[in-house]
Amino acid sequence: MARTTTPLAPRIAAPDLPGDLGEGVLRRGAHVDAALLEGLSGRVDAPHAHLVESIVRGADVERLDLGGSSLTDVEIEDLRGVDVSFRETRWQTVRMTGGRIGTLDLSRSDLNGVELRGMRVDYLTLAGATASDLLLVDCTLGSLDAPQAKLSRVRFEGCRVDEVDNRDWRIEHVDLRGLEAVRYLDMAALRGATLSERQVTALGPDFAAAAGVLIRD
């Protein structure tokens, strides 16, 4: 069998949401099913919650803690927050659109079938995360902190970032052609990723330095 030379696209589907959503309360350990959660504000403490077939819309929070939670078929719209923690969470078929976030913590999370679209995030961490079928579209990131991440079928479209901490990446089918990055911390860890010729030219000095090549005119 011939080896594919084109990165496989992430398999993304819209969350399966019921037509009629009820009310729900987001708190520690809550089970929220088929609910519309609107207007969250202040400090929301809801670790180890379970959100299923629900929408979180228009939250404006100082801190949102959903660490250790699980999200299945969830839509998150226009989330604004200073500190948003989804640390060690499990996401299955989740779409997150719009909003402005200071710190978005997805470290050591398990993400499957996830789409992030039209977001502005100062600091996004995926440190130690496992992501399969992840799509980022039209996102502006200050820093992408993702050391020791395991990534499969990941694609960026129309995204920008200043710095990517990609140390010790384990990747396959990672398409970085749609990510305008000023700097990667580990050039060797890009092995197996797909870049455009223009990107490779722009990063040429960094590739050379990683290979121990001196550039002199």
pLDDT attached to residue 27: 94
pTM of the predicted model as reported, rounded to 2 decimal places: 0.91
Q: Quick check: is 76 in a domain?
A: no
Map 148-205 to HEC letters: CCEEEEEEEECEEEEEEECCCCEEEEEECCCEEEEEECCCHHHCCCECCHHHHHHCHH
pLDDT attached to residue 179: 96
Alpha carbons 196 and 170: distance in angstroms, whole number: 20
Q: Quick check: is 123 in a domain?
A: yes
Alpha carbons 85 and 93: distance in angstroms, whole number: 18
Q: Find the CATH number of the domain harbouring 187.
A: 2.160.20
pLDDT attached to residue 217: 79
pLDDT in tens, 147-157: 999 999 999 99
pLDDT attached to residue 205: 74
Q: Quick check: is 100 in a domain?
A: no
Q: How many domains does the chain have?
A: 1
Q: Which residues of the chain have pLDDT under 70?
A: 1-5, 208, 211
pLDDT attached to residue 210: 72
Q: Quick check: is 158 in a domain?
A: yes
Q: Quick check: is 139 in a domain?
A: yes
Per DSSP, the chain holds a count of helices (H) and strands (E) of: 2, 17
Q: Quick check: is 170 in a domain?
A: yes
Residues of the domain holding 176: 106-204
pLDDT attached to residue 1: 41
pLDDT attached to residue 41: 95
Q: Quick check: is 175 in a domain?
A: yes
Distances (CA, A) of 25 to 19, 46, 50, 115, 136: 19, 10, 11, 24, 29
pLDDT in tens, 15-61: 999 989 999 899 999 999 999 999 999 999 999 999 999 999 999 99
pLDDT attached to residue 4: 54
Q: Quick check: is 93 in a domain?
A: no
